[in-house]
Amino acid sequence: MKIYIAYTGGTIGMVPSNQGLIPDAAFADHLTQHLNDADELTHEFVIEGYPSLIDSSNATGKDWQTIARDIEGRWHEFDAFIVLHGTDTMAYTAAALSFMFANSDKPIIVTGSQVPMYKVRTDAMINVMGAISACEELSGEKNSNGVFLFFAGRLIEGDRAHKAHTSDWQAFSSPNCPERGVLGIDWRWRSTEMVKPPMSIQIPDMKEGVVTILPVFPGVQVAHWQGLLNESVRGAVLLSYGAGNAPDKDPALLALLKTATDRGVVIVNVSQCGAGSVAAGAYAAGSALVKAGVISGKDMTYEAAFVKLSFLIGLDLSSEDIKNHFL
């Protein structure tokens, strides 16, 4: 097996500086040496660090596009792909790649670490070796390839991952979907019997500033959302209470949402709870959102909903077509 490993930046390859931890431009060479010293690895690896390494808190849709283009350009040369990434926005990038490489017939795995590799007590090589092991297990298995996030022994569907903890080794959860695999002494797999549609690669020109997030909180008012729903915005993720509820006693707030949806903004309702699904219209407070033109994101994470809107808008789809992709 030939595996391409892209180091995009992030904690895994950071080193100390006068300003704190920063990405190490020589990390790809250090990781290559580590893998070459691992006698049990017999695969061929190509590890490259990006010219402009990023702290993932600075990542944008343009970075998802760059990573996807890099993978696409090497698609026929490699059997599997691993993306080393910072944890802050790793779930967003994993979701973006899952939409751009829909039903991928090769494993694409995003991983990183909570502690830099240069430290003695680090999870860096555990996660890298786990991602490599996942590539081995997935390759050649019918309907098993795809885009995933691997972290602390958990292999999560790329569009199902959620950043759930700042300091635990297990930084990510899959709140509404069982993990595809769990790595202990051996792999334990969730069976997948469904037949996948053919793979498609679509890498749109990702536009900046076209998607926003609307937080719901006690006392939220029109003034809080007006600036967020500016004229450049084409999509929004509404972080609602519980099963999809928001205040329904403020006519001005609902009118603001209705004005936005009438002009073509696609507003997707996602629960701010850690797990569960939006049940649009189950409560009067949720029904008011439906009347304002807000659509249900069902059990999507807010990361996946944000990325899916960004992806579909990047494809220059109409508002109606974008809504249909959420049905």
Q: Which amino acid is at 184?
A: G
List residues with catalytic annotation.
Answer: 11
Task: Kindly give the pairing relationship between strand 266-271 and strand 154-157.
Answer: unpaired
Count Cβ atoms within 10 A of the Cβ of residue 300 and give its class: 0-12 exposed, 13-18 middle, 19 or more buried.
buried
Give the C-alpha separation, 62 to 289, whole Å.
Answer: 31
The beta strand positions in the chain, using DSSP E, are: 2-9, 14-15, 22-23, 44-54, 80-84, 101-102, 108-111, 147-151, 154-157, 162-163, 172-173, 181-183, 187-189, 200-201, 211-215, 235-240, 266-271, 295-296
- Residue 14's Cβ-count burial label (10 Å; 0-12, 13-18, 19+) is buried
Q: Are strands 187-189 and 200-201 parallel, antiparallel or unpaired?
A: unpaired
In 3D, which of 300, 282, 305, 286 has the Cα closest to residue 246? 286
